[in-house]
Amino acid sequence: MESRLKLLGHPVHPMLVIFPLGLFVTAVIFDFADMVGGPALLGEVAYWNIVAGLIGGLLAAPAGLVDFLGIPNGTRAKRVGLMHAAVNAGVMVLFAVAWFVRMGTDGHVTSGWLFLVELIALAGGGVGAWLGGELVDRLGVGVDPDASLNAPASLETGLVTRSRPLAR
């Protein structure tokens, strides 16, 4: 099933999801380093990584929704897509809680229990990413129907495209 929203011939959603995931991973690493005695600046940087990750997630979600709505009902892909969306929404909520609680702290530092929330959210992000991989690699969601080892360059399809209507 071809992605319904593309930029430069490639699906938009996978381009966007890497940013929040990477920012959240980095935030947790920086918070850990801050908690074990690293420079105090790391907690502040981790906080802003969470903010940027939340913004990135809010940008990635609508692009994912466009592709999700194109998946035929009653398919395994639709069920996996729903799980993918639900898990990632949970990740966003947990990191939003971490952001909100840290807003009022001196230096925006985390605490032990809040760091645990971040670890749980990060584990959820791993599950969500795996489900996204399942959608693409096993179920063919977002894959160009003309994909092959000798397919022409994706730029030949134009700058921004919407795919042809899906057969139901």
| pLDDT tens-place string over residues 118-147 | 999 999 999 999 999 999 999 988 888 888
Q: What are the boundaries of each domain within the chain? A: 6-141
The answer to whether 99 touches 117, Cβ cutoff 8 Å, is: no
Q: Hey, what are 115's tokens?
A: 């760091």
Which of 85, 90, 100 is CA-nearest to residue 121? 90
The answer to whether 28 touches 47, Cβ cutoff 8 Å, is: no
> For 3-7, 84-88, 116-120, which range has the lowest pLDDT when averaged over its residues?
3-7
Q: Hey, what are 116's tokens?
A: 């645990």
Q: Please state, in angstroms and rounded to a whole number, the distance separating the CA atoms of residues 86 and 98.
A: 19
> Residue 94: enclosing H or E segment and its boundaries?
helix 76-103
| pLDDT tens-place string over residues 5-44 | 888 888 899 899 999 999 999 999 999 999 999 998 999 9
Whole-structure pTM value: 0.86
User: Does the pLDDT at position 91 exceed 70?
Assistant: yes
> For 13-17, 22-26, 51-55, 79-83, which range has the lowest pLDDT when averaged over its residues?
13-17
How high is the pLDDT of residue 168?
Answer: 46
Q: Please state, in angstroms and rounded to a whole number, the distance separating the CA atoms of residues 118 and 115.
A: 5
How high is the pLDDT of residue 163?
Answer: 52
